[in-house]
Chains A and B, each alone.
Chain A
Amino acid sequence: MKPWTFCVLLLGLFSQAAFGEEAFDLLSDDDDFSFEAPASQAETAQTVEHSPLKYSLDHSASVRLGGPAEMVNHRSGLNLEYAGPLSESTYTKVDVTGSLYWSQDHQAKTKKKQFDADGLIREAWVQKSDGQLSYKLGFQSIVWGDVEGSQATDTLNPVDNREFLFVDFEDVRIGQGTLSVAGFGDKFSFEAFVTPTPGYNKNPPTGSIYAPANPFAGLPVRSDLPQEPEYGFRGKGKIGLAEAALLLAKLTPNQSNFELTSAGLLETAAPFWLVGLNLNYPIGQTLLKADVGYKTDQGINNQTFGLVHKDRLDTALGIESTIEQHSIFASVTVNNVMQWEPGLVGKPQSGYYNLGWSKAYLHDDLTLNLGGFGMLNAGGQILNGQAQYQINDQWQVSTALFVIQVTDSDSPFYAFKDEHRLECKAKVQF
């Protein structure tokens, strides 16, 4: 199927039929109209109980531009979500998704298959509320951080890196089997968690067009990943108008490291401590945000592909504001490697910035977004524009254009270099 067939022209302007000045007889109801409500509306108005089940189907296609147009994504998805109370004080949510990759999709092409499929449990948990405490057990995501798009402290869950630059932010986290406890007071709340067997990021498979270059292909790989649990605590409170949270966690890196040894490649992931701070402060219609995370023992390769461990300070600052219904967002994240030494791969200071603008049109049916992402101290930026149109309560279509330029071969995004991509998607939800 041609990708262009999914590209629906979204923009249209409703004509506005303005009424002329009317003369009123103020006490007459002659100028009042009676409204005939459609049957569906009358039925919905009576509905109080709602199905705890919802599902969505989507289909998307993406083409690479800039050279001969090539389809890179062609896939269908099914998402099922059940959310509802189990008893007086317990609640459950199950959110599973399945994807079918058609023959032109790079995921199927990599495996030389006519089609490929996979599934993911995003969330599957039971929550119990008891007095001031709440317990949650099962597959879940824990988001610690105020600055969207920054991993300064929002680094608890692994992420789907297979197409990192193109995955919706809301779909990128991968749930983990976790027990979390939250406590709520008038001015203070806390959250603690333990994840017995932490997971790792999903990376592009070998042979994928988005797999990073591997200079050691063919060498034997031995995995020595730790089996230690992750655990942590976050306390949150208010100081005047500001909301602040302090956090402490023992974590396993979501992205494993590779080290060259005499026996081949060794895959490791050194557990580390995260000490962090989240802060937000509103000034009128502007919100200032900051996340600061100090992480011990971060693995960095040297030029002989050995592995050394250094502490790192990640600082993210963000601002979001609404000006005449235009939403704007900007953030910058700076990563400082402590006690940097010559011979290490990368730079002692790196980082990235995010810029965004969004506005709704046509009675909120059409949303336009523009975004920019760029790397500091390294060559690379991504610009994207997206239009999303809600046709009715069930159907939604969207189109997005990504323009990517990555010149730094050390960048984790180098596999996406010079890719311009047009994406079209249709989704129906019930």
Chain B
Amino acid sequence: MSLTRTDVEGIAHLARLEITEPELAIYVASLSKILTFVEQLNAADTAAVEPMAHPLEGEVQRLRPDAVTERDQHDKYQANAPQVAAGLYVVPKVIE
């Protein structure tokens, strides 16, 4: 599988990653190589195989009662935020 510059720009956009011009060339080459490498998987006959849903056979993810288990600590959590005002996260203007 060989990717083009346009492909990689598209992937970077979907992933919300800014990629510089020198990085772009590196990723075109290395992502193409990785996708070619993983094409080995096509050699496996998986026609009768179910995709793995959980590493432990028979385990399913638990549900819990829909009850509040956390206490309000927003001051502590927001201490890590780049920008807050009046307990709210501040972002650039979204709606004109």
Asked if A pairs with B, the answer is no
A interface vs B, CB < 8 Å? none
